Amino acid sequence: MAQTAKKDEKQYQLYRDALNLFAEYGYKKTTVADVADRLGMTKGNIYFYVKNKKELYHRTIHWALTQWQDHVRSAVAGQTTAPDRFNAMAEAALGYIEGNKVFRRLLIRDPEIFTLDRDRDRFPEANRAARQIIRDILDQGIREGAFTVRDPEAATEYLFSIYMMFLIQTFVYLDKKDFRRIFASALALNLGGLSSPRPPKETSHDRCHVKGP
């Protein structure tokens, strides 16, 4: 049941315009009539595209999350080794929002878009895909011998939580003060751990490859 190209185009406009309005005024203060006005139609016609306001909101945000994820995936694809991909993923994921004012506003209006509570996750599909990006990099690293991970599933869950935590602290709570500095610490810790020894160089590649005692 393929949609018409025209409907696809209209839907794109709908999500884009709705996103801007929801980001500016929040869910409650944005009326269906506001969205219709912005698109040059009447509010009744919105219901030709979505079944109600709630669905409009949800689809709009899901669409925004999807765009963001595509950006991350292409950044990851631009690297080859697992550690490089890990860094690229982290940088792309956080950097994208850093540079996206509309998305940041949206998060302030609706801080629960990102949550650490799986039961209250309103975008489980998008977040499953996000976990998969992490998981793929871990698996590659293990396969190629660059990473040592005992329980990849648990590690993925843990890393995803840290990623959520960073998003929430930085873009919801606006604790940006030392964002980059703590982010760097987090990357170093996740790649190398607390434990010595490690040469005091950052570039994460040339590492001691001696087997344990």
CA 78 centroid distance within chain = 18
Binding DNA (rule: CB under 7 A), the pick from 20, 25, 41, 155 is: 41
The tokens for 194 are 């607390």
Q: Which region, left, alpha or beta, applies to residue 81 given φ > 0 means left and ψ of -120 to 50 means alpha?
A: beta
CB of 115 to DNA, least distance (A): 21
CB of 162 to DNA, least distance (A): 35
What is the C-alpha separation between 107 and 112, in angstroms, rounded? Answer: 8
Q: Output the CA–CA distances (angstroms, integers) from residue 22 to 15, 35, 56, 107, 161, in the order listed.
A: 10, 9, 10, 10, 26
38 near DNA (CB under 7 A): no
Binding mask 51-90 for DNA (x = CB under 7 A): xxxx------------------------------------
95 near a second copy (CB under 8 A): no
Name which of DNA, a second copy, none residue 210 binds, using a CB cut-off of 5 to 8 Å depending on partner kind: a second copy
What is the C-alpha separation between 130 and 144, in angstroms, rounded? Answer: 22
Residue 49 identity: Y
Contact window for a second copy (CB under 8 A) among 16-24, 57-65, 87-95, 151-159: 151-159
- Residue placing its CB nearer to DNA in the complex, 46 or 89: 46
169 near a second copy (CB under 8 A): yes
